[in-house]
Structures are given as C-alpha cells and as structure tokens.
C-alpha cells in the first residue's frame, strides 16, 4: 500500500512538473531537436528506435515496443541570442541584447501500459518548442518608446494519449491524439499598432499573455526488416489551434497560430550486439502556417501580402525545414549505456526576412549531443543528456525597407542545454 501511494505521488509530481515548465526555445526552427533525454543524446533520432515512454512525441508506434514504464525528466536550456542593425538611416549601427531572459526550465513525462502482449496505451507530455526574446534596450524600428519593454514569448505544450499495437513480431503501428496548449505575449511593437500596418488596431502589442488550445493527430509505423535493421515512418497533421484573440492584429488570419504538419522516416541499425546507429530525416512545413510562413514588411510594401492580422497578412517569412539526425548508442557495460549524436537542419529564415525575426531569431542549424544511462540497483534508470548548438549568423540582405531607413538586420544564436531524467518499469 505504501509503495502504491509513493508511486501515485511520484506520478502526480512528474505530471505537474511537465505541465508547468515552459519550453521557450528555438532549435530546429522552433521545434525541439529531439524528445526525451535518450533521443536528445542521440541527435534527436528515434523514429525507428524508441527508448522510453516519450516515444510518442517522435513516433507513436514505439510505445508498444518500450513496454510497461514511466519516464520523467527536467533540465535547463540556455540560448544566447545576438542581433544588430547596420547602416540604418535613423539608428545607424546598433548592437542589441535580447537575453534579459536566458535560462529556461524543461520538463517531460511519459507513462505507458501494456494492455496485452500486442497492445499498449500511454500518454506522453512534452514541450514542442517556442520563441523568446527580451530586449535590454528596445529596437526603435518597432517602438517609439526608448524605455519600452520589448520582445516576445511563445511556449507550446503537448499531451499525447497514444494507442499502439503490434500486428506481428515485425510490425507495429501507433496513433496519438495530440492535444496542444500554447501561450504568447508581445511587447514593444507599437510602431505597427495602427491602421497602416494592422487590420485590428489595438490588438498588436502589450496585451499580456494570451492562450490557445487545439488538437491534431500523429501516426506512425515501425518495421523490423531484418534482425539488425528496422525502419520507421511518422506523420503529424497540422495542429489546429484556437486564435490568440488578444493578438488578432498581429498574427495572420485574425490571431491564428497553428502548429505545422511534419513527417519523417528513420532507420536503426544494430552494428554490433552492443552498438546501435539511428538515422532520422524530418520535414517541418512552417510555410503552411500563414502567421509563420508568410513574408514580412518588404512583401507588404510590394502588395504581395496584407496587413498584420489579415487573412493573408504579414508573417515571419519562414521556409520549410529539413532536419537530418544521426545518433549512436553503445552499451558499455550491463549498467552503463553511452550515447552521442549530431543534428543538421536547413535554415528557416531567409536573409531578406531578418527584420521581423529580430523577435524570433531561430537560426540554429547544427547541434552536437552527448548522454548516458545508468541502471540503478532498484531497477530504475538515470539518464543525462547535453547538447550544444553551434553559433549561426544570418546577415540581412535587403531586409529593412527604405521607408524604415534601410540598412540590414542581422541575427545570431548559439545554445546549450542539459537534461536529467528517471525511468522505471511499472507493474
């Protein structure tokens, strides 16, 4: 009885941590490079190589392969952003510091139960990603107040109840209902809060936090092609979200900020009895969400898009992203497993779109990752992960229109994160 009570207390604490910790960061665009510390330590690869009860975030088919278990973890993410304006007619050349908020907590939780030898039901709770800037001194192209608080904060949280089943010893299929919550605020954008630039004046900036909810579906399959080779595929629909009503004059389609569809294929190869290599290729369709993919101020002045908040209003100009993730797991001993990996993704922000992206400089392209799992005497497992995202610069090219004084907006960022999680079999 005491053991059951302790387990329930642990479960409640883990769920609460995952639900309350924000995930305001940008790695692969504004998605995470991986989900769960084991996958994160392998460059995010996991479509064909599930390792814990967070597997549904990558491929729901993996849940029936990980068995009865619970996993939860936390960590710290630290992005270092750098932006500047060069050669502007009004401002000249100015370096900016958007790092007033710099350290962000991370959390995740997963629980999976085998209902029969071939059927599982579980839930994975995780942060998808986000965007955050908080300027020490405001960019005066966006505000008339030199003392204004300026920046944006977006967080996204997912709860994915998942059913997965094995057709036979070689093939597994899974489906998740992806329930999403997101929260957003923007400050210091008053130069755009007028009828010239916005279709809903008064709903652009300084409205405090607003939230939206929505849902989508993720499906996946994993096949064991040979004793040493498995392949997996996954597809997530667009997550259709309710509008940010307080920011219906900022985001296209009256405050709409859906979460883009994405899909991928993965391979896992058991190179030796102790070493597995995993490779994933993912595609994220940012351009299909107008508030993210529509071009910005230059396209507006050319008559190619509408005002902020309009049905075809200005956006951040992000391109679709392809991410390649490769990782290796090596069982060093009966207790210790070592992991390493690398992620490369294409650049979402064109050089012509850097002005608006002073608010969301998600320019990262390359990550290196490390981690390990240690099996404990009580049957539990302690996992640690670390990643470093290398500094990437995107310098503007025709990014600031002449009506704003011309010149260029430049973006740069590097990142570090460390995570720790605990997993255990459940009975």
Judge contact between 257 and 212, C-beta under 8 A: yes
b/e 121-159 (16+ beta carbons within 10 angstroms → b): bbbbbbbbbbbbbbbeebbbbbbeeeebebbbbbbbbbb
- Read off the DSSP letter of residue 402: G
What is the dihedral sign for C-alpha 310, 314, 320, 325?
Answer: negative
pLDDT of residue 80: 94
CB count, 10 Å around CB of 94? Answer: 15
Stated as kind and residue range, the H or E segment containing 7 is helix 2-20
Domains in the chain: boundaries = 2-425
User: What CA–CA distance (Å, rounded) separates 99 from 151?
Assistant: 10
Q: Give ∠ CA 335-338-340 in degrees, rounded to 5.
A: 165
How sure is the predictor about 212, in pLDDT bands with cuts at 50, 70 and 90?
very high
User: CA separation (Å) from 135 to 97, 151, 259, 314, 359?
Assistant: 6, 6, 26, 22, 9
Residue 299: HSE in the Cβ half-sphere, 13 Å Cα cutoff: 20
Give the mean model confidence (pLDDT) for residues 415-426: 96
pLDDT of residue 2: 42
- CA-wise closest residue to 184 among 122, 257, 274: 257
Judge contact between 346 and 340, C-beta under 8 A: no
User: What CA–CA distance (Å, rounded) separates 119 from 162?
Assistant: 11
Give me the helices (H) in 197-289, please. Answer: 252-255
pLDDT of residue 418: 97
Q: Which CATH architecture has domain 2-425?
A: Beta Barrel (2.40)
Cβ neighbours of residue 195 closer than 8 Å, sequence gap 6 or more: 201
Structure-model confidence comparison of residues 153 and 128, the more confident one:
153
Residue 24 pLDDT > 70, yes or no? no
- Encode pLDDT of 278-316 as tens digits: 999 999 999 999 999 999 999 999 999 999 999 999 999
Cβ neighbours of residue 320 closer than 8 Å, sequence gap 6 or more: 283, 284, 285, 286, 287, 288, 346, 348
Residue 141 dihedral angles phi and psi, to the nearest 5°: -75, -15
Give the mean model confidence (pLDDT) for residues 144-162: 95
Residue 61 dihedral angles phi and psi, to the nearest 5°: -60, -25
The reported pTM is: 0.94
Residue 375 dihedral angles phi and psi, to the nearest 5°: -80, 130
How sure is the predictor about 128, in pLDDT bands with cuts at 50, 70 and 90?
confident
b/e 39-53 (16+ beta carbons within 10 angstroms → b): bbbbbbbbbbbbbbb
Secondary structure (3-state) at 44: coil
What is the pLDDT of the chain when averaged over all its residues? 93
- Read off the DSSP letter of residue 259: B
pLDDT of residue 25: 55
Beta bridge partners of 369: 341, 387
- Read off the DSSP letter of residue 99: B
């Amino acid at each position: 009885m005491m053991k059951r009570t302790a387990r329930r207390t642990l479960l409640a604490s883990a769920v609460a941590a995952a639900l309350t910790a924000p995930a305001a960061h940008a790695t692969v665009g504004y998605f995470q490079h991986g989900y769960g510390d084991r996958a994160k330590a392998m460059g995010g690869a996991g479509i064909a190589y599930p390792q814990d009860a967070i597997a549904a975030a990558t491929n729901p088919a993996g849940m029936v392969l990980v068995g009865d278990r619970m996993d939860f973890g936390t960590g710290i993410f630290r992005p270092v952003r750098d932006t500047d304006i060069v050669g502007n007619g009004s401002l000249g050349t100015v370096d900016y510091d958007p790092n007033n908020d710099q350290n962000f907590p991370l959390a995740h939780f997963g629980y999976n139960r085998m209902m029969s030898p071939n059927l599982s039901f579980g839930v994975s709770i995780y942060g998808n990603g986000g965007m955050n800037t908080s300027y020490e001194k405001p960019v005066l192209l966006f505000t008339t107040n030199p003392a204004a608080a300026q920046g944006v904060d977006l967080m996204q949280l997912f709860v994915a109840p998942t059913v997965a089943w094995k057709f036979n010893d070689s093939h597994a299929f899974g489906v998740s209902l992806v329930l999403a919550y997101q929260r957003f605020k923007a400050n210091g954008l008053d130069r755009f809060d007028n009828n010239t630039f916005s279709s809903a004046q008064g709903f652009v900036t300084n409205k405090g936090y607003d939230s939206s909810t929505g849902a989508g579906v993720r499906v996946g399959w994993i096949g064991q092609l040979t004793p040493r080779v498995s392949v997996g595929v996954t597809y997530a629909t667009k997550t259709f979200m309710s509008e940010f009503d307080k920011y219906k004059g900022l985001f296209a389609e009256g405050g709409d900020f859906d979460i883009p569809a994405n899909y991928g294929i993965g391979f896992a190869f058991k190179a030796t009895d102790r070493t597995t290599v995993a490779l994933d290729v993912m595609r994220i369709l940012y351009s299909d969400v107008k508030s993210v993919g529509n071009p910005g101020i230059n396209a507006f002045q050319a008559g190619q898009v509408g005002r902020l908040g309009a049905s075809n209003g200005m956006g951040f100009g992000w391109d679709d992203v392809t991410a390649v993730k490769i990782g290796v797991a090596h069982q060093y001993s009966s207790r210790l497993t070592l992991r390493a990996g690398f992620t490369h993704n294409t650049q979402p922000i064109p050089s012509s779109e850097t002005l608006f992206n002073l608010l969301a400089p998600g320019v990262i392209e390359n990550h290196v990752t490390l981690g390990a799992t240690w099996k404990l005497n009580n049957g539990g497992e302690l996992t640690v992960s670390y990643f470093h995202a290398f500094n990437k610069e995107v310098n503007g090219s025709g990014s600031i229109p002449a009506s704003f004084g011309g010149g260029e907006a430049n973006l740069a960022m590097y990142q570090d994160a460390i995570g720790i999680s605990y997993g255990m079999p459940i009975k």
